[in-house]
Amino acid sequence: MNKIRIVLADDELLFRQGLLAILGNQENIDILFHAEDGDDLINKLRSANTHPEIVVTDLKMPGLNGIEVTKIIRKEFPNIKVIALTSYFSKPFILNMISIGAVAYLAKNSTPALMIKTIEQVAEKGFHYDEQVLQYVHESLVNPKDKKTKSTFDANYFTKREIEVLELICKQMTTSDIAKKLFISPRTVEGHRNNLLLKTEAKNVAGLVIYALKNKLVSLDSNSF
């Protein structure tokens, strides 16, 4: 079994040790190292021989905070996915973290089960936004600060199959699930996903979801999510 390689960063020692104890007992998770703050995290990432798939980082830390850390990771380590962790589950924080590349958002009072599920979902699908987070994103796109912003969506820009794949990605289905749903191979699904990334200029699948919501290709009014 391939373990999910992760790194933890939190300046609260007791909380960090709690995470280490919880996640360290998971057979499918491998904690490469942990960091006491943002500066410590970036220094360790830069000197590490093996990089994690996922970084779980607190937002409020001395020195480099989680927002600055996420920006650096997106620039220097684009293949690492960032899960934002904070005591403040507020709309501005969430939207800011998503805008700079966080692929999931967890409140510090989340249950261990939810944290484990989020890590697994991010490892498997590339992102994980719950209904509340998606609603915040939807509201920000429906009521943007710049009312003159226009959609760049062209109905002829995507093939019918690409739209189908995009809709299923937004439903947070895995590659294998999409393949079964559409009666195509997983490799074909990956091909469509890569085409979507190129056409939308999204950096990851989380970016595809934002694009789909912005251009009204999917709706949060249904139970799709």
Q: Which structural domains are found in the chain, ordered by start? A: 4-128 (3.40.50.2300), 145-214 (1.10.10.10)
Q: pLDDT tens across 152-166, in order? A: 445 567 888 988 898
Query: What confidence tier does 149 reach under pLDDT thresholds 50, 70, 90?
Result: very low
Label residue 57 by pLDDT band (50, 70, 90). very high
Other C-beta atoms lying within 10 Å of the C-beta of residue 38: 24
Per-residue pLDDT at 4 = 96
pLDDT digits (tens, 9 = 90+) for 164-195: 898 898 888 889 999 999 999 999 999 898 88
Q: How confident is the model at residue 2 (pLDDT cuts 50, 70, 90)?
A: confident
Return the closest-CA partner of residue 95 out of 140, 129, 33, 32. 140
97-121, pLDDT tens digit by residue?
777 888 998 888 889 999 999 999 9
pTM score over 0.85: no
Handedness of CA 119, 101, 55, 188 (dihedral sign): positive
Residue 84 reports pLDDT greater than 60: yes
Tens of pLDDT, residues 31-49: 999 999 999 999 999 999 9
Which pair of tokens denotes residue 220? 């949060």
